[in-house]
Amino acid sequence: MGTNISKFVNKLRIKEDELLHKEDLKVVLLGKTGVGKSASGNTILGKGFFEESLSSRSVTSMCQKESSKIGRRWITVIDTPGLFDTNTPNKEITKEIAKCITLAAPGPHVFLLVLTVGRFTQEEKEAVKMIQDLFGEESSRYTMVLFTRGDDLRKTNIEKFVSSDRRLQYIIDQCGNRYHVLNNRNPEEQMQVTALLEKIDSMVAENGGSFYTNEMFQDVENSLKEELRAKHEAEMEKLKTTLEKERQKQDEERKKSEKEFREREEQIKEECKLSPISSTLRVTVGADRLTALNRSAFSGHISLTTAVRHCFTNSPSVNGFPLLAISLAT
Ligand SMILES: Nc1nc2c(ncn2[C@@H]2O[C@H](COP(=O)(O)OP(=O)(O)OP(=O)(O)O)[C@@H](O)[C@H]2O)c(=O)[nH]1
Ligand SMILES: [Mg+2]
């Protein structure tokens, strides 16, 4: 009976401990697919919570939150899907990654930007940029680079590896020069996790114990929306200017051809005046002239009303030239 009560009290204490310290430290893992985010989450929490795989396809497709008591406090890790999965567009993946903010409410203390000890390619660079864009400039205060595959370092060390690549150094600089390396092949080596947590703690202390908040995320979302709106407006303005220019060009072309028709009309009137025939004038014109005259007579653009009453097409031809009969007003 006594042992049952003490077991129950013990359980209650554990529950109380869990509830009191659940908020101790919240970590979000971010990065390209296959870099070892899930494996790192398992190493940090000391348990195989997250599915990890060698497969080229993305394994983690949704955010997952797990907690473990390490030493005297609770650590919560939020694993996220990896960018550049060949089967899912990055836009969809970033949408899912963004959910980590809600899962980490009131907010994560640290974003671990996961990279491997290996070649730093253009894709890696773009993945980092996408994450930075998603969480905004403010997030750099809460970000640390976490290298995996520490076992690949062999005779070199992480400092030498980092200093060998200027692009890597640049990214680490953007994260307040914070980085750490894990060997997930050796998760039993607790010292590597202790050292990581110490680095995170000093960053949290530098930030006055604060975390990345939902408001900061909303600010990034709003400024992105504003940027998109401004871009859309600029595009519409450009389109309007192009259409206006096109309209002006057509207007000028129309005026020019009207002028040409009017001049032609005047010329014909002059020709008619010079002719000795009083009521009917027979002229032989080329096919181009005929077309022009017919068009002018029927289109209504040019008025021949006082001088020319009718313009007949299909006139007989003389020596291969079509005959145009014009009846003059009397
Ligand atoms: N040798 C070695 N392999 C590692 C290390 N970390 C991760 N891996 C291996 O890398 C592969 C991918 O690891 P995951 O943790 O599944 O990678 P992920 O970033 O979660 O991948 P997604 O969920 O697809 O985004 C697995 O086979 C891991 O065992 C490490 O430190 N050393
Ligand atoms: Mg994963």
| Per-residue pLDDT reduced to its tens digit, 250-304 | 999 999 999 999 998 888 888 877 655 443 444 444 444 444 444 444 444 444 4
Identify whether the C-beta of residue 174 lies closer than 8 Å to the C-beta of residue 224.
no
Identity of the amino acid at 167: R
Distance 134 CA to ligand 1 centre (A): 23
Residue 219 lies in a domain: no
The predicted model gives 43-51 an average pLDDT of 96
Three-state DSSP at 183 gives: coil
Backbone phi, psi, residue 118, to 5°: 180, -165
Query: How do strand 25-31 and strand 73-79 relate by DSSP bridges?
Result: parallel
Are 141 and 260 within one domain? no
Residues of the domain holding 16? 2-212
Residue 133 pLDDT? 92
Number of domains in the chain: 2
Distance 17 CA to ligand 1 centre (A): 32
Residue 112 lies in a domain: yes
The CATH number that applies at residue 63 is 3.40.50.300
Q: How far does the chain reach from its first CA to its final CA, in angstroms?
A: 133
Are 145 and 265 within one domain? no
Residue 307 has pLDDT above 60, yes or no: no
Q: What pLDDT band is residue 6 in, cutting at 50, 70 and 90?
A: confident
Identify whether the C-beta of residue 153 lies closer than 8 Å to the C-beta of residue 161.
yes
Residue 2 pLDDT? 65
Residue 309 pLDDT? 44
Are 318 and 175 within one domain? no
Residue 225 lies in a domain: no
Residue 314 has pLDDT above 90, yes or no: no
Return d(Cα 25, Cα 196) in angstroms, integer.
Answer: 12
DSSP label of 187: T
Ligand 1 contacts (CB < 6 A) are: 33-39, 52-54, 58-60, 81-82, 148-151, 182-185
Are 207 and 245 within one domain? no
Residue 222 lies in a domain: no
Residue 220 lies in a domain: no
Distance 184 CA to ligand 2 centre (A): 13
Are 100 and 13 within one domain? yes
Three-state DSSP at 207 gives: coil
Residue 197 pLDDT? 96
Q: Which one of 35, 83, 116 would you pick to mutate in the ligand 1 pocket, going by the greatest count of ligand atoms within 8 A of its CB?
A: 35
